[in-house]
């Protein structure tokens, strides 16, 4: 009886691992497919049955994507917009979060603001897309990085405020008390005591903010046409109804997700917190 119990347990764990392996293959395969498509020659991409392990490799697609006209400009647009958005949302957002985490303002006011900020985040971006398009056009800001940064910061702020609010509330009150005794002003306490202590949280928040603007497509596609075009818009431009430029699209796609993957590895510890707006502390 004992042996059969052990066999059953072994079988159960084998089944468990098989199941997890299957799920992992389904989840990870598309990523492999993206990379492999980008280094296959065109003939191998238009092949049935699909070639999963190519024996001819090429980096032509990468060269082609990087040497297209103004490729460096679009890369710079993406990098600059994402960095500026991250910096602005983190500074303005954590200042607001600090004021909301402290109790100097009336309870009702703070709660009202916190809820209002949450509601802003819930709205679908498409609902502001039309007014943005017209207002930005009327201001003469169409096709500028500035217009993208404006809209991205607006979209990112609620997220940063909510996340940082949670991180600030987690800090022990005693440390700030000591700073008060030492006669630090509120700004000094924020910049020199609280923010350095909340640095791990701030870093993760910044990474999430960066990834969000790096990935953003809707606003970029309506507010830019050429000068301020970002990479997601460039990728969408590779697609037409007649034919798919698989190799080039995959090459640019692979390059685009490299920074995202690299950064996201650093979010592990606060991942769930970031995903849930700070509601679930994983």
Q: Kindly tell me which of 201 and 253 has the beta carbon lying closer to other proteins.
A: 253
- Please, what's the b/e burial string for 183-214 (b: 16 or more CB within 10 A of its CB; e: otherwise)? ebeeeebbeebbbebbeebbebbbbbbbbbbb
Nearest residue (CB) to other proteins, 193 versus 249: 249
Least distance to other proteins, CB of residue 235, Å? 5
The nearer residue to other proteins, 80 or 121, going by C-beta atoms, is 121
Residue closer to other proteins by CB (options 76, 180) is: 180
User: For residue 101, how far is the Cα from the chain centroid?
Assistant: 25
Write out the two tokens for 277. 């707006």
Looking at the DSSP bridge assignments, the partners of residue 244 are 239
Q: How far is the CB of 193 from other proteins (least distance, A)?
A: 14
Report the residue number, 20 or 76, with the smaller CB distance to other proteins.
Answer: 20
Using the minimum distance from each CB to other proteins, give the nearer residue, 34 or 41: 34
* Assigned token pair, 177: 């008390």
Which residues, 6+ apart, have CB-to-CB distance to 101 below 8 Å? Answer: 165, 168, 169
CB of 4 to other proteins, least distance (A): 20
Distance CA(277)–CA(282), nearest Å, equals 12
Q: Token digits for 34?
A: 């993206």
CA pair distance 190, 120, nearest whole angstrom: 26
Q: Which is nearer to other proteins, 60 or 125 (CB)?
A: 125
Shortest distance in whole angstroms from residue 98 CB to other proteins? 6
Q: Which of 95, 103, 100 is nearest to 195 (CA)?
A: 95
Quote the least distance from Cβ 143 to other proteins, whole Å: 15
Cβ within 8 Å of residue 9, ≥6 positions away: none
The set of residues, in sequence order, having a beta carbon less than 8 Å from that of 18 and lying 6+ positions away, is none
CB of 57 to other proteins, least distance (A): 18
DSSP code at position 46: S
Residues 97 and 164: beta-carbon distance below 8 Å: yes
Question: Minimum distance from CB of 70 to other proteins (Å)?
Answer: 19
């Amino acid at each position: 009886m004992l042996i059969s119990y052990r066999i059953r347990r072994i079988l159960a764990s084998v089944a468990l691992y098989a199941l997890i392996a299957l799920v992992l293959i389904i989840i990870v395969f598309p990523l492999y497919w993206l990379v492999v498509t980008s280094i296959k020659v065109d003939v191998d991409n238009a092949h049935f049955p699909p070639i999963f392990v190519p024996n001819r490799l090429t980096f032509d697609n990468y060269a082609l994507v990087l040497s297209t006209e103004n490729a460096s400009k679009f890369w710079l647009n993406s990098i600059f917009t994402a960095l500026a958005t991250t910096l602005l949302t983190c500074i303005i957002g954590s200042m607001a979060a600090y004021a909301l985490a402290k109790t100097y303002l009336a309870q009702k006011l703070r709660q009202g603001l916190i809820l209002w900020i949450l509601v802003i985040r819930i709205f679908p971006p498409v609902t502001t897309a039309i007014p943005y398009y017209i207002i930005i056009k009327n201001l003469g800001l169409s096709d500028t990085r500035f217009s993208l940064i404006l809209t991205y910061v607006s979209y990112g702020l609620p997220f940063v405020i909510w996340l940082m609010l949670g991180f600030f509330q987690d800090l022990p009150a005693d440390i700030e008390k000591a700073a008060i005794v030492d006669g630090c002003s509120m700004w000094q306490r924020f910049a020199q005591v609280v923010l350095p202590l909340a640095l791990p949280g701030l870093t993760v928040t910044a990474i999430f903010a960066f990834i969000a603007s790096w990935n953003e497509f809707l606003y970029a596609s309506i507010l830019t046409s050429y000068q301020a075009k970002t990479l997601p818009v460039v990728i969408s431009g590779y697609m037409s109804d007649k034919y798919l430029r698989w190799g080039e699209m995959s090459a640019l796609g692979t390059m685009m997700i490299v920074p995202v993957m690299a950064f996201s590895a650093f979010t592990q510890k606060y991942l769930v917190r970031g995903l849930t707006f700070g509601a679930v502390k994983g």
